[in-house]
């Protein structure tokens, strides 16, 4: 493959006489390099590699043709709109400029609890996006939010336990904690008008403290999202009923295969029982996606 990470300069006219090899210039960014065999490229994700420590990614575009880009985050705009809105915007050039993004709204419910509503937007659409059910889209959003949820909850619990400020306990990472710090600093500036808050260097305690025996906010996806989301709750109930139904069908057909006398009915019952077990297993796997939170390994 040929790597071209910058726009080449205008080609100047050259003489017809051949140039000596010692006078020729070599541009490593406009040369061909073997990366991998085409049959070894993954089909479900891009292929990452590096060249002289330059991160690159190889992928197939909508037409199935291979393309290579610098492997950097496509997000080009990230804004925090106080007090409860975060917007992301990305842009990618293929045949036309494709723009997409997300808006995250945060609603403070109470001490240690908030509700986040995410809305995606883009200027393009594919048949996969049109056919994808809402509950499946929520799986990916939940995974995005759950990656750092235990860390954030743990930080807040430690701050409350020690009764100190966030900036005295943790060293923020500029690349990943920017939104958190901006939000906490906004609370430092305007939080005095709120019932209670935990800023970056200041805080205001609530008048009514949580009871010691009060249960902490749930971290599992079932109570945190599925039970309060209409589309996910309906899909969860359907998969639960499918699992129960096909388990019963598998048991009934297995019993039928046992009592039959070896005729064709026995073979049909065995095949039907096996198929019911497969469907029940798939339904169980889908069901677990609505119950357990994503854990980063």
Which of the two residues, 288 and 162, has the higher pLDDT score?
288
Q: Are 102 and 125 in contact (CB under 8 A)?
A: no
Please indicate, yes or no, if residue 282 is contained in any of the structural domains: yes
Please indicate, yes or no, if residue 140 is contained in any of the structural domains: no
pTM of the entire predicted model: 0.62
Query: Beta strands 66-70 and 54-60: pairing type?
Result: antiparallel
Residue that is last in its domain, among 182, 214, 246: 214
Are residue 278 and residue 228 in the same domain, yes or no?
yes
Residue 106 forms beta bridges with which residues?
Answer: 116
Banded pLDDT at 237 (limits 50, 70, 90): very high
Overall number of domains in the chain: 4
Quote the distance between the C-alpha of residue 260 and its chain's center: 51
Helix (H, G, I), strand (E, B) or coil at 211: coil
Could you list the residue range(s) of the whole structural domain that residue 177 is in? 148-214
Please indicate, yes or no, if residue 138 is contained in any of the structural domains: no
- What pLDDT is attached to residue 295? 63
**Cβ within 8 Å of residue 121, ≥6 positions away:** 100, 101, 102, 103
- What pLDDT is attached to residue 247? 95
Are residue 26 and residue 58 in the same domain, yes or no?
yes
Are residue 61 and residue 93 in the same domain, yes or no?
no
Are residue 87 and residue 110 in the same domain, yes or no?
yes
- What pLDDT is attached to residue 6? 47
Query: Beta strands 97-110 and 113-122: pairing type?
Result: antiparallel
Are residue 152 and residue 120 in the same domain, yes or no?
no
For the stretch 12-39, what's the b/e string if a residue is b when 16 or more beta carbons lie within 10 angstroms of its beta carbon? eeeeeeeeeeeeeeeeeeeeeeebeeee
- What pLDDT is attached to residue 11? 43
Query: Beta strands 85-93 and 97-110: pairing type?
Result: antiparallel
Residue that is last in its domain, among 214, 240, 266: 214
Please indicate, yes or no, if residue 171 is contained in any of the structural domains: yes
Are residue 249 and residue 264 in the same domain, yes or no?
yes
Helix (H, G, I), strand (E, B) or coil at 264: helix
**250 has a pLDDT exceeding 90:** yes
Helix (H, G, I), strand (E, B) or coil at 290: coil
Please indicate, yes or no, if residue 234 is contained in any of the structural domains: yes
Please indicate, yes or no, if residue 294 is contained in any of the structural domains: no
Please indicate, yes or no, if residue 297 is contained in any of the structural domains: no
Region 39-67: mean pLDDT is: 79
Are residue 123 and residue 164 in the same domain, yes or no?
no
Are residue 66 and residue 78 in the same domain, yes or no?
no
Please indicate, yes or no, if residue 265 is contained in any of the structural domains: yes
- What pLDDT is attached to residue 132? 82
Give the separation between CA 202 and CA 242, rounded to whole angstroms. 52
Which of the two residues, 229 and 89, has the higher pLDDT score?
229
Give the separation between CA 101 and CA 61, rounded to whole angstroms. 20
């Amino acid at each position: 493959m040929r790597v071209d990470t910058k726009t080449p300069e205008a080609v100047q006219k050259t003489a017809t006489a051949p140039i000596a090899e010692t006078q020729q210039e070599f541009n490593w960014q406009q040369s061909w390099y073997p990366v991998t065999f085409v049959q070894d490229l993954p089909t479900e994700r891009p292929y990452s590699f590096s060249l002289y420590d330059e991160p690159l990614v190889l992928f197939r575009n909508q037409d199935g043709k291979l393309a290579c880009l610098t492997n950097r985050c496509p997000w080009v705009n990230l804004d925090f709109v106080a007090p409860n809105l975060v917007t992301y915007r990305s842009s990618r050039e293929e045949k036309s400029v494709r723009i997409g993004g997300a808006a995250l709204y945060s609603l403070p419910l109470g001490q240690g609890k908030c509700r986040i509503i995410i809305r995606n937007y883009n200027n393009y659409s594919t048949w996969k996006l049109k056919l994808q059910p809402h509950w499946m889209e929520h799986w990916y959003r939940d995974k995005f939010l759950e990656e750092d949820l235990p860390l954030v909850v743990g930080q807040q619990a430690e701050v409350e336990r020690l009764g100190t400020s966030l900036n005295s306990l943790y060293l923020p990472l500029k690349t990943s904690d920017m939104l958190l710090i901006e939000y906490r600093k906004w609370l430092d500036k305007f939080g005095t008008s709120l019932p209670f808050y935990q800023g970056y260097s200041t805080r205001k305690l609530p008048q009514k403290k949580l009871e010691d025996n009060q249960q902490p906010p749930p971290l599992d996806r079932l109570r945190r999202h599925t039970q309060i989301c209409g589309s996910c709750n309906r899909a969860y109930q359907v998969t639960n009923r499918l699992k129960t139904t096909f388990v019963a069908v598998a048991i009934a057909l297995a019993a039928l295969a046992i009592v039959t006398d070896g005729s064709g009915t026995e073979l049909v019952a065995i095949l039907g029982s096996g198929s019911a077990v497969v469907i029940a297993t798939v339904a169980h796997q889908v069901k677990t996606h609505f119950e357990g939170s994503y854990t980063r390994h």
